[in-house]
Amino acid sequence: MSAEPVPAFLVRPAAPGDVEDLGRFIEPFVARERLLPRTRDELEDLTDNGFVAIADGRIVGFAALEIYSTKLGEIRSLAVADDFQGRGIGKALVKACIDRARERRVFELMAVTSSDEFFQRCGFDFTLPGEKKALFLQTRESY
């Protein structure tokens, strides 16, 4: 008995031509409140340092690197289609963002997430050398 073949995927830089497909791709994640809603302009901005995972001729994953300064960047909008999770796509997208941050000489990266164990497996931790921590305060009930 042979296992079903796992479809291969390709991670590549996002392009302005991906914006429409990205908008459709993130809709279910927004509906489940896993991602914030994005306008077309915001999606265009995210493609500047964003990456898509392509399999079966469609977008099955996305992540973006937001560069705030040479000191700090953030991995944003990480999402992998439900039927493609567990295949290394998320990790490959995070790696692409980390590689871009290194190319741009960004000193530190952060990820605001509810999946802390995943990011820890990608090398992130709750503190940085020198005991730096990010603290948050929510100013209203919902976005």
* Count of domains for the chain: 1
The pLDDT-based confidence of 5 (bands split at 50, 70, 90) is low
Q: What pLDDT is attached to residue 21?
A: 96
Domain contains 33:
yes
- Rounded mean pLDDT of 121-133? 78
Residue 12 has pLDDT above 90, yes or no: yes
Whether residue 43 is contained in a domain is answered as yes
Please report the pLDDT score of residue 68 as a whole number. 95
Q: Do the strands 108-110 and 72-80 form a parallel or antiparallel pair, or are they unpaired?
A: parallel
Torsion, Cα of 99, 110, 127, 96 (10° steps):
-20
142: in domain: no
Give the DSSP per-residue string, 104-126: TT--EEE---S-HHHHHHTT--S
DSSP 39: -
* Domain of residue 22, residue span: 10-121
C-alpha–C-alpha distance, residues 98 and 74, integer Å: 10
